Structure 1
Amino acid sequence: MSTFRQRTTLLAAASTAVLALALTACGGNDSATKATGSAANDPAPAAASGRTAEQADTAKGTGAARNTGDSHRTGTAKTSGSASAPDCTTKDVSLRAAYHDGPPYTHIVLTAKNTSGHSCRLKGYPEIQFLESHRENVPAVAKSKPAAPVVLAPGTPAYALVRLSNGGVDENTEPVTAFSVMLQGSDGLATVNAPGAGLAVDPAKWATGYWTYELRNGADDF
């Protein structure tokens, strides 16, 4: 009986050792599998994430460059529309004068209408000479200067208000039936007939406004 018990004990101990080894082997394989899985799987998302960020940055950069280019072209097109218009010459416009308000007719309105087939830019103010005895140009009133250049499309007008005198009965005025006008940026000279029976001008009081699309209250009050 003693021998049988000893053999049973030895068999039980051997079985326990074999089971322990099997469990250790299984645990080792699982750990190895997990480690291998981590090593194989972890870098892939990182690399994919890196490529996605790079592609996103590239896409953003491309979009930004494309948008900037479009904005730049649009801005240039808008700006060049006015900048590319040539200066108006006396051959491009017809000039006429009309009384402004009633007697004693201290002001006239000078109208320049684009009669050419293209747009042109009307610069500054009309350079007017009323009298042969006074060869200087009529001075301009600074407050009447518009904020943007006047660009006339074909068939459209611009206006300049011109003061002739203060209308005083004792004022030293001279009669004018026609006068000369030059346009800034052009060498041409135009002769404009005075409206009605003529004008009475005072060299000490005359002044002209800038060319504008329409007469403006306040800015043209001089």
Structure 2
Amino acid sequence: MNTVRHRSTLLAIAGTALALSLTACQSDSGTKSSSAASPEVTVASSPAAAASKAGKGTGTFDAAGSTGSAGSAASKGSAGATGEQVSASTPVCTAGDVRITAARQDGPPYTHIVLTAKNTTGHSCRLPGFPHIQFLESHKQDVPAVAKSKPATPVVLSAGAPAYALVKLSDGGVDEDTEPVSAFSVMLESDSTVIAVTAPGSGGIAVDPAKALTGYWTPELRNGADDF
């Protein structure tokens, strides 16, 4: 009887151990399966939760999606965007903001004059495009602009700062059909107000309407021979 009872006890212990082992395996398998599936479930059902997990170690995401340490790079990007917004919000120069004068170009080619637009206000303004010039009453078309002279970035004039535009009057030939001009009109690209500009020199300038060209406004004085 003792032998039978001892065997029964051993079988019972072995059975219990086997049951515990199977339970542990099933529990571990279930945990791994659940863990492997959780990222998909999180991404699909809760983007905010996925973003929160992704933010660990690189900063804490707030409701707007900004971060702490990783947000420093985003902050630099925001600063750049803000700079562009500030530039874009700078008012466009109007006829009342600038004073336009004309002078002969100092040096060859002598067929050019220089227009200077000086910001006379106490604030910055943007001067887009080129001057819209009409030299003669008999020629109502604006003087064509030379695309090559267009600056790479917008021209922003701080208070008191100038911008320049080179203007070609003729080819300089003795047989050209030129006409004398003592004053001419200029309009800004952003304003239809006509600005009267006095031509340089006591005798004015000689203009061939068929050959006249204008450059874009630029922050530096350029040589007309480089562009046209």
Q: When the two structures are superposed, what TM-score results if normalisation uses the length of structure 1? A: 0.74
Instruction: Give the share of equivalent positions with the same residue, in percent.
Output: 56
Q: 2:86 aligns with which of 65, 81, 85?
A: 81
* Contact 1:159 1:212 (8 Å CA) reproduced: yes
Aligned equivalents of 1:21, 1:104: Cα separation in 2? 118
Question: Alignment length, in residue pairs?
Answer: 209
Task: State the Cα distance separating 1:28 from its structure 2 match.
Answer: 2.0
Q: 2:2 aligns with which of 6, 9, 15?
A: 15
Aligned equivalents of 1:104, 1:160: Cα separation in 2? 15
Task: State the Cα distance separating 1:121 from its structure 2 match.
Answer: 2.4
**Is residue 33 from structure 1 mapped to residue 14 from structure 2 by the alignment?**
no
- Which residues in structure 2 correspond to 1:42-121 (within 5 Å)? 43=30, 54=42, 57-59=50-52, 60=54, 63=61, 66-67=65-66, 76-102=81-107, 105-121=110-126
Task: State the Cα distance separating 1:216 from its structure 2 match.
Answer: 5.2
Structure 1: which amino acid aligns with 2:2? S
User: Unaligned stretches of 5+ in structure 2?
Assistant: 43-47
Aligned equivalents of 1:49, 1:103: Cα separation in 2? 77
- Give secondary structure in 1 for the equivalent of 2:138: coil
1:152 corresponds in structure 2 to 157
* Contact 1:143 1:219 (8 Å CA) reproduced: no
Task: State the Cα distance separating 1:219 from its structure 2 match.
Answer: 8.8
Structure 2: which amino acid aligns with 1:27? A
Q: When the two structures are superposed, what TM-score results if normalisation uses the length of structure 2? A: 0.72
Further displaced range: 43-52 or 176-185: 43-52
Judged with a 3 Å threshold, the aligned counterparts in structure 2 of structure 1 residues 58 and 175 are, in CA distance, closer, same or farther, namely closer
Aligned equivalents of 2:108, 2:137: Cα separation in 1? 25
